[in-house]
């Protein structure tokens, strides 16, 4: 049974639906267009949330030298000496970043590379055959190439 109290509510709902329909019609949209638009907007919001959310990935620092491989958790702090054919390369892991402190190579470009902090970044001392990289289980993320 419909009472006088219910009539304005039902009328208000119908008026609201009609005004929204007029808004979409004014934009040249039909009912199906609105559904597609709402779905695309939902996918966009979901994708942005996945890309920009801070993930708790277990990143690791990997050092390769002389046919051997050492893996350290990125959260730790350590100084590691990696042996190479020219001598020892010293790698520092501190504050979730890594850098080469010293190396016996002549040009010292490995030291000039600075520090690395993100998944996929790497350092290399080519003359001493030492490779330092950050990897893990899926911590990719955006870099300057993505833009």
Split at pLDDT 50, 70, 90, the class of 101 is very high
Instruction: Choose between 107 and 51: higher pLDDT.
Output: 107
Burial class (CB in 10 A: 0-12, 13-18, 19+), 9: exposed
pLDDT tens column, 2-33: 555 555 566 666 666 666 666 666 666 666 77
144 band by pLDDT with thresholds 50, 70 and 90: low
φ, ψ dihedrals at 65, nearest 5°:
-160, 140
> Mean pLDDT of all residues in the chain?
80
The whole-number pLDDT of residue 33 equals 76
pTM exceeds 0.75 for this model: no
CA–CA separation, 10 vs 109, rounded Å? 75
Q: Tell me, what's the pLDDT at 34?
A: 72
How far apart CA 4 and CA 1 sit, in angstroms, is 10
φ, ψ of residue 130 in degrees (nearest 5):
-120, 130
Assign 7 to helix, strand or coil: helix
What DSSP designation does 146 have? G
What pLDDT digit, counting tens, does each position of 26-58 carry?
Answer: 666 666 777 788 888 889 988 888 777 755 557
> What homologous superfamily is domain 59-137 in, according to CATH?
N-utilization substance G protein NusG, insert domain (2.60.320.10)
**Residue 62 near residue 71 (C-beta atoms within 8 A):** yes
Predicted confidence (pLDDT) at residue 92 exceeds the cutoff of 70: yes
pLDDT for 57: 55
Domain spans of the chain? 6-52, 59-137
- CA 52 from chain center: how many Å? 7
Cα–Cα distances in angstroms (integers) from residue 59 to residues 15, 55, 115, 142, in the given order? 55, 11, 15, 15
Paired sense of beta strands 88-94 and 97-102, if any: antiparallel
């Amino acid at each position: 049974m419909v009472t006088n109290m219910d009539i304005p509510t039902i009328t208000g709902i119908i008026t609201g639906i009609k005004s929204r329909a007029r808004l979409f019609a004014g934009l040249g949209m039909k009912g199906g267009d609105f559904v597609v638009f709402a779905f695309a907007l939902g996918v966009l919001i979901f994708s942005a949330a996945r890309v920009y959310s801070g993930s708790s990935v277990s990143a690791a620092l990997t050092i390769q030298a002389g046919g051997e491989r050492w893996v350290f958790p990125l959260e730790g702090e350590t100084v590691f000496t990696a042996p190479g054919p020219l001598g020892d390369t010293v790698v520092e892991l501190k504050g979730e970043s890594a850098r080469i402190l010293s190396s016996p190579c002549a040009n010292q470009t490995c030291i000039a590379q600075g520090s690395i902090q993100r998944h996929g970044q790497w350092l290399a001392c080519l003359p001493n055959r030492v490779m330092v990289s950050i990897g893990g289980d899926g911590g990719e993320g955006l870099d300057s190439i993505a833009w």
